[in-house]
Structure 1
Amino acid sequence: MTGSEPADPAAPAPRRRGRPARTAAGAGPGARERIIAAARAEFAEHGYDKASIRGIAKGAGVDPALVHHYLGPKEKVFAAAVEVAFAPALAVPDQITADGPEQVGERLTRFILGVWDDPVTREPLLAIVRSAVANETAAAVFRDLVASRILGRIADELGVPDAGLRAELAGAHLVGIAMLRYVIKVEPLASAGLDEIVARVAPVVQHHLTGP
């Protein structure tokens, strides 16, 4: 065809750079949710370093271009998967501080360890923690979520000096217990009842948050 010949009206329109075609495999309602679910499974099985956009796309039944279109590069896919896994915990600051600071240690301890104690929520958390331990990019995503979205909001409600440091010390205490109990499975901590652990740990967490 020469430059003077008209374009074929039956030819498909050219794609815009960086965007998937409308007919890309898997596009449509629920595609983003399928991608995030597949990402959680991919990161859980392979960790952050070995997980791939192609593997996530395959698990979701979509074209890899759709993963980039909906969520962006791998670190943003990981952040979206982490946020979904942490969804129950993201509402916790409002619940914990609703009735004042007097029982905040017990409420925070019971909630955080309760999330870890539930097998449904524990598995994605384990995958996230393992990725965060092994990779700095994953650690930065995890750190920002915990520091800004959970501990930072609790600190804002405490109304005490050094609230940020206090909240982070409480968080460090609970994460350490979760690691020993649910990841490393040190006995007798791993087999102790949740109520017993909360009864022993909550006063220490309360001291971190509101003690002198």
Structure 2
Amino acid sequence: MSGQPADGPPAGEPDGRRRPGRRPGSADTRGQILAAARETFAEKGFDKATVRGIARQAGVDPALVHHYFASKEGMFVAAMELPVEPESLIPMIVSGPREEVGERLTRFVLTMTSAAEARQPVLALARTAMTNDRMAAMIREFVTHAILNRVAEALQIPPIRTEAAFAQLFGVVLMRYVVKLEPLASVDVEELVELLAPTIQRYLDDSG
């Protein structure tokens, strides 16, 4: 005896049909989720996109999305191929001596973007945002809510200060790698850190 009725469905499938819900994980499941995420973020923006909506677009259970990605922010970073997640960036900025926060942020941004593989996705998004209002809104929502506001809250400063700091550093990155303005384009990272960190510190300091 096999323990299964001869005329019954296979064990675990009471009605003989595949159960709806979570799609079994496969080599391509993560890719399907990321494709759905890119489409959903582009259509709805970062704020209005939801894990449930992305899961529905990908045809998987939301629990499977959480299996691959810890948060919506993490999924956005992976979908857009960004080089760093807010969960690692923000603690790096706000931890340590307050008087060195400008130096930490400046060194991180300039060191990270010195690597072409980290820099290229960021610059590609920036170029697209310059000509695509929907993409600009999506990036603005992500940067504002996932990074800038959280840094401002952690440092207990007005958001305009974090916006000014990041804007100046991003402008330096654009001049260095897109416009290739000399000698800015070829100067050593540490020399730039020494030059820029005091100004970035002033933006992020709550005393001035």
TM-score class, shorter: 0.5 to 0.7
Contact 1:82–1:128 under 8 Å retained in 2: no
Q: CA RMSD in A?
A: 3.6
Assess, with a 3 A threshold, how the Cα gap between structure 1 residues 155 and 187 changes in structure 2: closer, same or farther.
same
2:160 is matched with 165
Q: CA deviation at 1:38?
A: 7.5
Q: Give the deviation of 1:100 after TM superposition.
A: 3.8
Could you tell me how far apart the structure 2 residues matched to 1:154 and 1:37 are? 27
Given the alignment, which residue of 195, 201, 206 partners 2:196?
A: 201
Task: Answer yes or no: is the 8 Å Cα contact 1:89–1:150 preserved in 2.
Answer: no
**1:199–1:89: structure 2 CA closer, same or farther, 3 Å change rule?**
farther
Stretches of structure 2 that go unaligned for 5 or more consecutive residues are: 1-16, 43-55, 61-72
| Alpha-carbon shift at residue 99 of structure 1 (Å) | 1.5
Distance between the aligned counterparts of 2:161 and 2:106, measured in 1? 14
Partner secondary structure for residue 30 of structure 1 = coil
1:154 correspondence with 2:151 = yes
Choose the corresponding residue for 2:140, options 139, 143, 151.
143
Cα deviations by residue, 1:88-132 (Å, 9 ceiling, x for unpaired)? 241211111112421110001111122211122112112211111
Q: Do the aligned residues in 2 keep the contact of 1:35 with 1:67 (CA within 8 Å)?
A: no
- Label 1:87 to 1:117 Cα distance change in 2 as closer, same or farther (>3 A): closer
Task: Give the one of 77, 102, 123 matched to 1:83.
Answer: 77
Q: How far does residue 172 in structure 1 lie from its aligned partner after superposition?
A: 0.8
Deviations 1:175-209 (A, max 9, x none): 11111111221111111111111111111100111
TM-score (ref. length: structure 2): 0.65
Q: Which residue number in structure 2 is paired with residue 134 of structure 1?
A: 131
- Which one of the candidate residues 22, 28, 36 is aligned to 1:31? 28
2:169 corresponds in structure 1 to 174
The answer to whether structure 1 residue 93 and structure 2 residue 90 are counterparts is yes
**Counterparts of 1:181 and 1:81 in 2: how far apart (Å)?**
29
Deviation at 1:159, TM superposition (A): 2.3
Distance 1:183 1:105, change over 3 A: same
Aligned counterpart, 2:115: 118
Which TM-score applies when normalising by structure 1?
0.64
- Which residue in the other structure is 1:183 paired with? 178
Decide whether the 8 Å contact of 2:34 with 2:75 is kept in 1: yes
Deviations along 1:26-52, whole A, 9 cap, x unmatched?
Answer: x9513243357789xx9xxxxx8xxxx
| Number of the residue aligned with 1:103 | 100
**Consecutive aligned runs of 4 or more in structure 1 exceeding 6 Å deviation:** 36-39
Contact 2:33–2:58, Cα closer than 8 Å, also in 1: no
Question: What is the total number of aligned residue pairs between the two structures?
Answer: 166
198-207 vs 98-107, which moves further: 98-107
SS in 1 for 2:84: helix
